[in-house]
Structure 1
Amino acid sequence: MFKLGNIYYGFKLIEETEVKEIQSIARIFIHEKTGAKLLHLENDDHNKVFSIGFRTPPSDSTGVPHIIEHCVLSGSRKYITKEPFMDMVKGSLQTFLNAMTFSDKTLYPVASRNEKDFFNLMDVYLDAVFYPKIYEIPEIFMQEGWHHEIFDEEENIRYKGVVYNEMQGAYSSPERILGENIGKSLYPDTCYQYSSGGNPDIIPELSYEDFLDFHRRFYHPSNSYIYLYGNGNVEKQLKHIDENYLSNFDKAEIHSTIGIQKPFTSRNEIVDYYPISSEENDENRSYLSLNFVLGENTDPEIYLMTSILSQLLVESEAAPLKKALLDEGIGEDIFPVSSGGLQPSFGVVAKNTSPDKKAQFEKVIFETLNNLVENGIDRKLIEACINIVEYDLREASKFPTKGIVYNMISLDSWLYDGDPLVHLQFDKTLNKLKSNMDTSYFENFIKERIINNPHSSLVIIEPKKGLGEEKQRIMEGKLDEYKKSLSPEEIKELIEENNKLKEMQVADDSEEAKATIPKLSIADVEPKAQVIPQKIIKEDKLTILSHNIFTSKIAYVDFYFDISMVEEKLIPYINLLIGLLGKIDTKKRPYSQLANEIYIHTGGIDFDVTCYDQKNSDELYHPKLIVKGKAIGDNITKMMELVSELITQSKIEDKKRIKELFQQMKSRIEMTIFDAGHSVAASRVSSYFSPSKKYMERLKGLDFYWFLSDILETFDSNSEEILSNLNKVYNMVFSADNLILSFTGDEDDFSLVKANLPIVIDKLNTLDFQPIKYGFAEERLNEGILSSANVQYVSKGYNFRRLGFNYNGSMRVLSTILSRDYLHNKIRAQGGAYGAGILLDRTGHIVTFSYRDPNLDRTIQVYDKMADYIDSLNIDEEELTTYIIGTMSQLDPATTPHMKGQIATNRYISKITQEDIQKTRDEVLATKLEDIKAFIPLIDKAMKEDYLCVLGNENMIKDNEKLFNKLVQLKK
């Protein structure tokens, strides 16, 4: 038993309380000797979390907090390999292992179910942050941050560095540029005016000395926020942290306080630009954003109202601001934007608009808000939006490692000297907001915090052709001037520095260094694969899969509709359709009322489309449209009624509304392309040789994006045909034939779902459809996809089954070795890309990818030499065991209860049995070096098939045009 005021291994307990909302006992400690703050959340979650964070306010946009986050994980006092972080990823049972830079803090969280592993991870991170090798090895800064690269006196100097290239990729997104300018516009006198991740134009201004000074100033226990979560032995954890780390330090005065931005007396306005490629259309491609500072995050009402306002005014389908702006034709997509930090903001963005609509944009917003204040907001809309936020809190944002989410929520107040529990104890605030639904609370909040609030900004981001080339010329000019300023001796010194860096990168860690990395043994691994409970019930054409899993009383009900009867030319219409349902009128009510009904009574009804490969084949596959609903208790009946209404009574006829939704769909795809560029390229290359991946490309890949773009180009003249095709698909896909119902929850709720099934089933169409055999032929398109991105996403792949090879679990270990070692070293550490990897699956796909990669041809050469690397691979049993254990962590990821039900359902559809899962596990655990070597011909032949796709910079791809069969514009 803990007692208030007592000291436990140097930590004084200052508060203990129950947090019912997250089923935890919370304890707040202060470390007496250093002043380090520690929050412990005790509960029965065996997925334990440790995190240490620091307040790290930037004073410029060189990205120093971000570069330090990378660098401290590259060797420390106790762990002297080049990259202990990657060594732990290779051989840990971790369920979460990462580090994150925010606008005002840097966080180092880890999670594991295994206690020995948990302590190993905790120790590696503590040693990394307090005793990094950055002071002794400047090459770490050069590799992870930035450096001048040159290897020959006649060469031009280049900028190189992992963070530099990562941020080159990040700044390919106009939304990133918009976000940075919102920070500048609202908080010009605080740290939030800067890019903590680093603006690539400014990163090269960071000196090694200033980098070290930032670490000295902020990475001290007195500036730390330590977090422990789960069912671990907290006294043992406290003892370890104190005895091995904190006791070595004394209290220090750290000047890291986050400054408050004084309120404005008038609105601030900023205009900035983003690059587009020379062949892109720049008409109506601007962004307008109106933003307001709402208060301080330590206030629990402000904290929740920031999220509620986003739903209420913009995000919900019933949101009045979005509707008003779309009705006025201001932008093709309207979405909310908010900045976190000490002073949260609310903003509304119009995307794909023009600067000359600025006055109209502001006018519509204020007229709409004034109308809401004078005439009142729809109470059902308020109730629905509160419900959305409440579900998000109770489900920990649907993130599988809940403890990580709770850590971030606690820091939203704790970091600013507030109560770390205030946002975790959300019931009191939610209840207050609910009790105010019938008062003028929400209208007054909008009036005071938005309408009458001069602390606001208008940000305009415009497209600019040639901006990328202009920045490239400026950068090359700077580098040229820099080289001219160097004497021959200084150039030689610079070349020597680069050679020293290269030597460090290519050198293997010594056996002595490797021995410092903590290791698990095979005995630490559970040999038996987890069995997900699944009861299979067959009723006529219906299959019911029930998963009796604890879900905190939320019932998850998913309908899997067979869509294999849809003819090939209509495949993309399936994805168009699901983008409409729930957002258009039904025969029963308008879409605004429908949205309110859904969120008042349920946690949401969502739609998805995907394709499940049958075990061991990509030629046999099962395309499905999935309707996902969730509700609590008696609301299950209402949820079933709403599902039925959506899939049988939607009216596909309002051309104006449908065009708006298509424009929004296109906009949202564009906003994700560069963040998921590696997936885009990998999916595209897979579609060249895989029928199931070709289907997915038509359904939701680049083929779909281009189809949607074409649809919008001709919508006004072809709307009748488009609506006809949508109705045809709508009347076809919601069929009782081959329907699978997947339920996840408890037995009582399952009985309620089963009793209410006729509400949905009885209204489905009963036509007898035949599945279509699509004629997807293999085709080596080898495209270079031209974009305004500053980096590349490079992918090669093939299907090894077509080359005569069969799947084996040892391939998972091969993937770990190649991804975590060879590709990481060659493409990331030496090549400067943010990441790289390879996937091998039981259907036969072998696909490589790189992420935010400054290279192109060089990366392809790395892929082509994978077989040579495996041929020369010489590792002992201990090293191989490390790779096996790292592979096991991928077989046992953290999952939410709903995810478990989905995994079991996916396996059922793909005909993957528990025996198959166990066989793969057994093969992973039994892997020998000769098993890995046996894959040499597979890798060699797959890469020699030469199926290639690159999404990247227009000029870089054109410079390597000989590698491609065709060049394609990303945005047509």
Structure 2
Amino acid sequence: MTKFMSDIKIFEKGSEYNGFCVLNVFELKDYHSTAIYLRHKKTGLEVLHLVNDETENLFSFTFRTPNPEGNGAAHIMEHSVLCGSERYPLKDPFTQLSNQSVKTYLNAATYADKTVYPASSTVEADYFNLMSVYADAVFFPRLSPEIFAQEAHRLEIDGDGKTSIQGVVYNEMKGVYSSFESVAMDVPVRNLLKNSIYEEDSGGDPLKIPFLTYEEYRNFHKKWYRPENCFVFLYGNIPTEKQLDFLQKNFLTRLEEKNPDFEWTDDIRNSILKTHLEYVTPKKLETELFVKTTGPSGEENEKKSTVYVTWDLGESKDAEQNMEKIFLTGVLLNHDGSPLQKALVESELGEDTAPGMGLDGLFHTLFTVGLRGVKKNSAEKVKELVFATLNKIVENGIDKDDIDSTLMGLEISHREIERNNGPFAKSLMMAPINAWLYGNKIEDSFRLRSVLEKVRQKIQNKKGYLEELIEKFFLENKNFAVCEIIPSKKYTTERTRQENALVKELVQKTSLEAIKKENAELHAFQSKKDDTSCLPHLRPCDFIIKGKRISDSYSLKIKTLEGKDNSSVDYFESGENTNGVTYVDVGFPADVLSSDKYKYLSLFAETVCDCGWGKLDWSEAAAETALYTGGITCSVLTSETPFTKNNADFRKKHNFTARDWVVFKLKVIDEKLKEGLGLFADNINNVDFSDYKRLKDIAVETRNDFDSSVVPAGHQYAMLRSLRKTSRVSAVDEILNGLTQIFCLHELAEADPKNNSAVFNEILRQIKAGGGFIHVTAEPETIEKNKELIAGFVKSIGLCALKSPKENSLEEFVKLTELDGKKSLENSGDAGDEKIVIPSLVGFAGEAFKTIAYGQKGNAILEICCHWLSNILLWEKVRTIGGAYGAFCDIDSTTGNVLFASYRDPTPQKTADVFENCLKEAALMDFSQDETEKAVMGTYSHFVVPKTPRARGNIELLRTLYAIDDDDRENKLLELLHCTPEELKKGFNELLEFSKKIKYRVIIGPENDDLSGEKIFLPL
């Protein structure tokens, strides 16, 4: 029972409260929650509240939003409802909220058959502010013609008289259709789930979006955005009655008034559910399906197809059925040594396994395996390999270790407290949402330890249980598809041709005068200044308590352990409530290497834990690791260190600050710590780089992963690239993670793996000789209980005291970032501007310049300025008016480097000029006290997002390694919360002046007239 049971007693199954009837009340001990499930008697709106001790409260509004047309109606509606409502008649209350709320999460998402609007906060008043805006948005939106033109589609004429289709969702989806992986992963779903809404793109096909009419758009909301088609999920410690009272008073009463004749009945529910199930139920295939199609690429190469084999596993009506499929997926694909995964990796039919393998949870669950980089006309061979492997598994039986390693993975996932791009509650909410969506029992939907135990007992007590599932789901199931997707330059060329033809067709149906008139009306709508006083907000004074520190405090302790040759090794302890999971980090200094070795480090980190060690080959090592641990991985770490008065003594005392690191990481449950540390030591001591085929496979897979990330994440590459000349660390970051690394990986993937092996051995030898540190994050009692075990581990890996770094200069690293021997281009006197060509229908812009560094007065004010620019001016100019999907202004608070970027941008070259214009406009503005406080609160929200135990341990480590002083953090937050309108205005003027000095601009996008000058082509 939770401590809130005194409040919950008023809710018993069958009871009523303020217009709601209680459908059920049940305990979820795994999540330390009591679930209260209710329905509003008059409107039919359903509510599920998981009541617990959590102070981070979350709500979400979910609607069934099936759309069989592929015109993006559901996706466009998701954008549009957040563009103003009855009580909040603003152009964009969503961004205003983002600017001023201390939210911990704020988003909306369109799925294939539903749309979800979640938000969370740790402050109750802020939580209800968010709920007020969101509920008003979804139930009472404006949906004006201007909003439709802005978010969906419109014709637009540029300064040269060229007509194009524009729209935020339109351009977002052009970005999706520029990514080969996005297109390829969609092919099995569309073809296997025929005659259902999954056959069409819920996000919207850019070639179909322009056919959505304004009337259809309005009708879509009228049909689906109704309380009887709404499920509200609540999570946290705010009492249920308080939340229900808020919903009734602010929204449900208004909905009753809006539809006075409506009275919810079971027949209405059944009718809605029946209609939805008709939309989502696919036609069952009578025989296997073969599909051959193309996807976007910068080259014609039929030797690099992606081949998928995908099964429709049918419905999953409860958690036990779902757990069977999850467990079976783990057994087959849990790690590189798992039987089906290993067969694919070793087959030589392709370069590496395809992205998107595993389960896809729709109304029918899909299971997908496949290969990337498959030779021409080899799709049938891939299918034969998969079936032969599955038949062999059934014939020979499943190895007990594969079962046990899957159990280990599930055990860790149950124990581990994680934030996955948002609060833990965000991932927890999807199970009951999907149960409601498809008419299944809410209480049977949760993935509980007891459900896993049922499946485990079946495996233990019924011989051949899993083998029978393989036969049922795969070998006897003819409802599957084999899909071959070929990278082709013609794909993008053909879509561009169709888009141009569509523009001509649409122009013929209107006139230039009508287009200009519509655009003028839209521009007037977008340019109108909103009165944001209707939006409630908190004030900085609410968070300043005299005599109490604002900044958080952590528990890391700096100690030493005896290492090799009796030297003192730096040992860091983070005592956290990890729920029985231990995390161990071992760091070796990368900066003892010469600069030319850095280009190898990313591939080294990908390889060193995946190529076998000691007597274990790579597959055996993977199997052992999965059997006893939650994973052994490696990554490269570099970051700036602030040089302030407060951390000067710390930096002098410790030689581990301001360094680059290669960090080996172990995750293990406490009960298996001894075995886990043994494997970890074996990996570090005896890694074997002599399996040249394995090295080649990893290099190719890593190259492919980097290549496929450019179109979805081009803004990140643009920002990294624009920073490369500002500091040594930024140049290193570009070498490790940026466009430079892509060129390096293409070189290393084609190189003789013997050469890579020799370099990797030398890197490992040098970094181990350079000394290092160990960091443990675990329950305090676990650390105390295992202190001798940890001390023994340090000696077993020969860890020694840290040595000094090499003196590698900024110039050396910058030289390594010059792409393909091309000189940096110049534009308006800004040395460092570059134009990068990629095969995409949209582009990205990035720009960087230096400002005030961390620890200096004014750094916090500039952070407020950047936050405000992102959420107000840039959003308006680049997204709302410019049609790009996203625009950002961020500050690296340590260095003071300011970063601008645009995302899925139709005109990235023009956007680069908008950045400067926004700074000029902001510098001329005067800010009221109210506007300043809102910007301060929105910025402050970044500092109050709750951290998981593992994240807290990571942050403690970073603060230690990079000398982030507690007093500096406190001073920054105080400066932020005390910001005045005068200081904010001064900050914008300082930003403008800094931008006039050296800045670095990078444009990434398609080859077209706007991308003028010498170009660098990425080898994608």
Partner of 2:728: 691
Tell me the alpha carbon deviations over residues 82-111 of structure 1, each in whole angstroms, 9 at most, x when there is no partner. Answer: 111111111101000000111111000010
Aligned twin of 2:1005? 952
How far, CA to CA, are the matches of 1:36 and 1:659 in structure 2? 56
Cα distance in 1 between the residues matched to 2:627 and 2:855: 55
1:173 aligns with 2:207: no
In the alignment, the residues of structure 2 paired with residue 397 and residue 422 of structure 1 have an alpha-carbon distance, to the nearest angstrom, of 23
Indicate the residue corresponding to 2:898 in structure 1: 846
Query: Counterpart of 1:523?
Result: 541
Q: Tell me how far apart the structure 2 counterparts of residues 580 and 664 of structure 1 sit (CA, whole Å).
A: 11
Aligned to 1:325: 344
How many residues are matched? 953
SS class of match (1:732): helix
Structure 1 residues 616 and 835, CA gap change in structure 2 (3 angstroms): farther
- In the alignment, is the contact (CA less than 8 A) between 1:616 and 1:843 conserved in 2? no
2:779 matched residue in structure 1: 745
Question: Which range is displaced more, 621-630 or 9-18?
Answer: 621-630
Who is 2:636 aligned against? Answer: 609
Q: Which amino acid is 1:523 matched to?
A: C
Identical columns (%) = 28
Residues 395-435 of structure 1 deviation map (CA, whole Å, 9 limit, x = unaligned)? 36542511111111322323211122334242222112323
Tell me, in whole angstroms, the C-alpha distance in 2 between the residues paired with 1:550 and 1:380: 30
Query: What SS does the corresponding residue of 2:553 show, helix, strand or coil?
Result: coil
Distance 1:251 1:350, change over 3 A: farther
Pair 1:428-2:450 in alignment: yes
1:731 pairs with 2:765: yes
Q: Which amino acid in structure 1 is aligned with residue 937 of structure 2?
A: I
Mapped pair 1:418 → 2:431: no
Q: 1:476 aligns with which of 496, 500, 516?
A: 500
Aligned partner letter, 1:574 = L
Residue 770 to residue 803, structure 1, CA distance change in 2 (3 Å): closer
Deviates more, 1:546-555 or 1:922-931: 546-555
Instruction: Please give the root-mean-square deviation of Cα atoms over the aligned residues, in Å.
Output: 2.4
CA–CA distance in 2 between the matches of 1:759 and 1:118? 47
Q: 1:395/1:424 Cα in 2 relative to 1: closer, same or farther (>3 Å)?
A: farther
The structural deviation recorded for 1:754 is: 5.2
Cα contact 2:859–2:896 (8 A) shared by 1: no
What secondary structure sits across from 1:294 in the alignment?
A: strand
Counterpart of 2:660 in structure 1 is 623
2:964 paired residue number = 912
Match of 2:55 among 38, 46, 61: 46
Q: Does 1:545 align with 2:563?
A: no
1:337-389 residue CA offsets vs partner (Å, 9 max, x unmatched): 43321101101121111340012111111111111110012221122123223
Partner of 1:969 in structure 2? 1017
The range that moved more, 236-245 or 524-533, is 524-533
Q: 1:10 to 1:738 in 2, by over 3 A?
A: same
**Superposition pairs of residues 164-203 of structure 1, within 5 angstroms:** 164-203=170-209
Deviation string, structure 1 residues 576-635 (Cα, Å, up to 9, x no partner):
222123322211323323223222222222221120211149x99421122222222221
> What CA distance in whole angstroms lies between the structure 2 residues aligned with 1:591 and 1:714?
21
Return the offset for 1:19.
0.7
Specify which of 573, 584, 590 is matched with residue 557 of structure 1: 584
Give the alignment partner of residue 90 of structure 2, picking from 71, 81, 86. Answer: 81
Kindly state the Cα deviation for residue 544 of structure 1 after the two structures are TM-superposed: 2.4
C-alpha separation between the residues in 1 aligned to 2:920 and 2:636? 40
Per-residue Cα deviation, 1:705-754 (whole angstroms, up to 9, x for no partner)? 21111112233xxx322211111112222357241424243333443155
C-alpha contact (below 8 Å) 1:71/1:140 kept by paired residues: yes
Match of 1:441 among 441, 465, 473: 465
Q: Which region of structure 1 is more displaced relative to structure 2, 876-885 or 142-151?
A: 142-151
Which piece of structure 1 moves more, 819-828 or 465-474? Answer: 465-474
Any idea what the Cα deviations from partners look like across 1:639-668, whole Å, max 9, x if unmatched? 211211111111110001111111111122
Is 1:297–1:341's contact at 8 Å kept on the other side of the alignment?
no
Q: Which 10-residue stretch deviates more, 551-560 or 812-821?
A: 551-560
- Cα distance change on mapping 1:616 and 1:194 into 2, 3 Å: farther
Q: 1:88 to 1:170 in 2, by over 3 A?
A: same
- What amino acid is aligned across from residue 343 of structure 2 in structure 1? A
AA paired with 1:891?
F
Describe how 1:37-186 pairs up with structure 2 within 5 A: 37-134=46-143, 137-150=144-157, 155-186=161-192
How has the CA–CA distance of structure 1 residues 56 and 616 changed in structure 2, closer, same or farther, with 3 Å as cutoff?
A: farther
> Is contact 1:870–1:932 with CA below 8 Å preserved after alignment?
no
Matched, 1:300 2:319: yes
CA–CA separation in structure 2 for the residues paired with 1:767 and 1:805: 33
Give the SS at the match of 1:788.
coil
Match of 1:722 among 729, 750, 756: 756
CA shift in 2, pair 1:397/1:355, >3 Å = farther
The 1:348–1:19 alpha-carbon spacing in structure 2 relative to 1, beyond 3 Å, is: same
2:34 to 25, 32, 43: 25
**In structure 1, what is the equivalent of residue 741 of structure 2?**
704
In structure 1, the gaps of 5 or more residues are none
**Structure 1 stretch displaced more, 261-270 or 119-128:** 261-270
Q: Deviations over 1:235-290 (max 9, x none)?
A: 1101111222223333464343354224321012222212222xx35242211111
Which residue of 2 is the match for residue 713 of structure 1?
750
SS of residue paired to 2:810: coil
- Alignment match of 1:401 (pick from 423, 444, 447): 423
Equivalent position SS for 2:659 = strand
Which residue of structure 1 aligns with residue 284 of structure 2? 263
Aligned with residue 402 of structure 2, among 372, 381, 396: 381
- Aligned amino acid, residue 256 of structure 1: H
Whether the 8 Å CA contact 2:569–2:802 is kept in 1: the answer is: no
Aligned 8 A contact 2:379 2:483 in 1: no
CA displacement, residues 487-534 of structure 1 (integer Å, 9 cap, x when unaligned) = xxx43223111101011111211x3xx121111122333561111222
User: Separation in 1 of the partners of 2:406 and 2:832?
Assistant: 46
C-alpha distance in 1 between matches for 2:137 and 2:853: 46
3-state SS of paired residue (1:287): strand
TM (norm. structure 1) is 0.94
Give the AA of the match of 2:640.
Answer: D
**1:508-907 equivalent positions in 2, closer than 5 A:** 508-509=529-530, 511=531, 514-525=532-543, 528-539=550-561, 541-616=568-643, 621-715=658-752, 719-735=753-769, 737-753=771-787, 755-764=789-798, 766=800, 769-777=803-811, 780-800=831-851, 808-840=859-891, 841-907=893-959
1:944 is displaced (CA, Å) by 4.5
Looking at structure 2, the residues matched to 629 and 265 of structure 1 have their Cα atoms a distance apart, in angstroms, of 47
Greater displacement, 809-818 / 420-429? 420-429
Q: Counterpart of 1:552 in 2: which secondary structure?
A: coil
TM-score (norm 2): 0.90
Residues 318 and 381 in structure 1, CA contact (< 8 A), matched pair in contact too: no
The separation in 1 between residues aligned to 2:977 and 2:750, in whole angstroms, is 54
1:801, distance to aligned residue in structure 2 (A): 5.5
1:926 corresponds in structure 2 to 978
- Cα displacement string for residues 438-459 of structure 1 (whole angstroms, at most 9, x for unaligned residues): 5312211111111111111111
Give the 3-state SS of the residue equivalent to 2:439 in structure 1. coil
CA distance in 2, matches of 1:378, 1:594: 16
The answer to whether the 8 Å contact 2:588/2:773 transfers is: yes
1:836 shift after superposition: 0.9
Instruction: Identify the residue that residue 4 of structure 1 maps to in structure 2.
Output: 13
Identify the range of structure 1 (498-507 vs 171-180) with the bigger mean alpha-carbon deviation.
171-180
Q: Which runs of 5+ in 2 are unaligned?
A: 1-8, 257-261, 562-566, 645-650, 652-656, 815-823, 825-830
Higher deviation after alignment, 686-695 or 161-170: 686-695
Letter in 1 for 2:1000: Y
Distance 2:474 2:914 in 1: 54
| Kept after mapping to 1: 8 A contact 2:76/2:152 | yes
Against the structure 1 CA distance between its residues 786 and 167, is the aligned structure 2 distance closer, same or farther, given a 3 Å change threshold?
A: same
